[in-house]
Amino acid sequence: MIILKNTKIIVPLIFLSSLIFSNISFANNDNMKKILSLDDIKIYKKIFEIQKLPIKSKKSKEWKKVDDLIKGLNNRILLGNVYAERFLHPTGWRSSYTDLKKWLDNYNDHPDATRITRIALKRKPNNFKSPKKPTPGFLNGYGTFKENVLKPKFPIDNHKYKSFSYSTSIKFRRAINKRKTSYAENLLNSKKTKKYLTKNELSQLRSELSHALFIFEEDYKSIRQARLSVSLSDKPNPLALWAGGLASWRIKDIKLSKYFFNKLSEIQGPEGIIAGGAYWSSRISFLLGNAKEANYFLKKAATNERTFYGSLAMASLGYKYKPNFDLPSYDNKFINKILKHKGGIRALALIEVNEFHKAAREFRKIIPKFDIKDYPQLLSFTSKNNMPGLTFRLAAILRNDHNKILLGGLYPVPTWNIDTSNLKDKALLYAIARQESGFNPRAKSSSKAMGVLQIIPSTAAFIMKNREYRLRRSKNYLLYNPLHNISIGSKYIKFLFSLPIVNNDLMWVLASYNAGPGNFEKWTKYRNYKYKDTLLMLESLPARETRNYIKLVLTNLWVYKARFNQDNTVLLSLASGKSIDSKLFFKNTGS
């Protein structure tokens, strides 16, 4: 054993597999092997509970409690995790280089080894030996898919003016972001641009200008750019047809809108916008009194079932959406694969002490050692053992890279004991969590939003009427606890429903949740948002991120409602032109 200097931490020098495996026993019925005794489970739970507190310094009494608890451990398999959490504590511990080096010499296969190495190298004295390098490999990311297929990177085509194509696209898009549409149009009209960009590239940029002009409420200009874009290419650009259809609808040129949307529904392209074209075509057909044609386009949109407009079409048609959420089973042979790796043993032990996020990180570290054919069993295992973020990530890899759809993994259901005393169901919370964080309990954004529902500390302080949530060394660490985060998030959602500007409508609750109620109020003040047409209002929101966010969360909600076998009237309300009010989600709304 090695005793670290100036601490009471004891680090095992060598992992003896015989000692580790001697403590493993089979669990009944669930294919799990027990790593820890009941006494060790209690001790580790207490240790991790203490170390999550906002400890102020190295001299705090909490560390003495942890050291005393460590002495009572029989199986020390998780000591590396205990010390990593201590060494990385944001306020309560500062480690010497010697401590960090000794930890790395024993735990360089640990998921926190890379981070601890960075700290160690900053503190390394010149004449000291370097620590062991971390073992390579770690599966980063969560299941969200952010590639913008409607605005591809330039150059689109293979030609000798790639550099000019790229720089022109950058200038153009910057101009659009700054609302300099005249500059953007002049750039496209220049002889040099017309000479060096391909027709496909010119068509793409014209389509983006068309959509921007629609958002800026310059509908006639938008239609002109849409027509120019369509005329430039043998394959009409989907975004041009989309923008042209929306702009024509808003100026009540139904015939022209029908042309754009019908054409959009017939071409190949991203399924979300193609479904949108078919759905809006059905609206136009219904408006013109052609029920048969409206039904045809609804069925066409419904073929893209996990898109916003596909879901709306299915709701409009009265389809009962009952997809298969089953996941493959795993067996002892698969568990034995996990046990071949020290990180796998630690992961199973961490599951036993309910440290699911730490367990997921151990799996992310050893996943490169698994074959892709193991992924279905692996995501089934992580799903059953409360690691929804990793489940989502693995399912997304299978979907994006291998065209294998496992809906039970793409729409995971965490086993969180959520307080439902004020909730009618959990579907909305899961729909938001899937989009906000990919179910990552430790997610933190550049705007300081934290946890599964991405709650900003100042928002938590306001909702909980406790300013301590603003303080780093006080209550804001609780936002990393999924149950606490969701409790605050559900109260915030209910608060948003009560705002006059939101008008008790889930659509605008989501807009406010994503962009902030202040921004949403600004949009409704300076622009004509008195549309009776809710879908047109949605498509007219100035923030692309917010438009997409609303659609994705509502689609998630549609799928989760199906997963919970609930009466799925949410999107039917929207398809019927009604608001989605709070009574569908909360008890005792008072409205």
For 184-214, write each residue's pLDDT tens digit: 999 999 999 999 999 999 999 999 999 999 9
Q: What is the pLDDT of residues 63-77, one digit of tens each?
A: 999 999 999 999 999
264 alpha-carbon distance from chain centroid: 29
Tokens describing residue 341 = 């790796």
| The pLDDT value given to residue 197 | 96
Extended beta strands in 24-70, E state = 25-26, 33-34
pLDDT at 527: 59
Rg (CA), the chain: 27
| CA distances for 252 relative to 100, 214, 257, 578, angstroms | 68, 14, 8, 21
Nearest to 535 by CA among 503, 505, 584, 575: 575
pLDDT tens digits, one per residue of 332-388 = 999 999 999 999 999 999 999 999 999 999 999 999 999 999 999 999 999 999 999
- List, for residues 97-130, the tens digit of each pLDDT value: 999 999 999 999 999 999 999 999 999 999 999 9
Using CA of residue 191, residue 192, residue 197, residue 203, what is the dihedral sign?
Answer: negative
Whether residue 12 is predicted with pLDDT greater than 80 in this model: the reply is no
DSSP character string of 30-88: S--EE-S-HHHHHHHHHHHHHHTS----TT-HHHHHHHHHHHT-S--TTHHHHHHHHHT
CA distance 279 to 553: 18
pLDDT over 60 at 13, yes or no: no
pLDDT of 529 strictly over 60: no
What is the tens place of the pLDDT at every residue in 220-253?
999 999 999 999 988 999 999 999 999 999 999 9
Q: Retrieve residue 17's tokens.
A: 């597999």
Determine contact, residues 279/309, Cβ cutoff 8 Å.
yes
CB 588 within 8 A of CB 474: no
Question: What is the tally of helices (H) and strands (E) in the chain?
Answer: 30, 4
Does 584 or 357 have the greater pLDDT score?
357
Q: How confident is the model at residue 473 (pLDDT cuts 50, 70, 90)?
A: low
Contact 70, 10 (CB under 8 A): yes
CA distance 445 to 374: 32
Confidence at residue 570, expressed as pLDDT on a 0 to 100 scale: 84
pLDDT at 75: 97
Mean pLDDT of 29-37: 74
Report the C-alpha gap between 223 and 211 in whole angstroms.
9
In 3D, which of 22, 6, 13 has the Cα closest to residue 79? 13
Question: CB-based contacts of 7: which residues, under 8 Å, 6+ apart?
Answer: 99
Beta bridge partners of 586: 423
Q: What is the pLDDT, as a whole number, of residue 23? A: 44
pLDDT digits (tens, 9 = 90+) for 272-327: 999 999 999 999 999 999 999 999 999 999 999 999 999 999 999 998 889 999 99
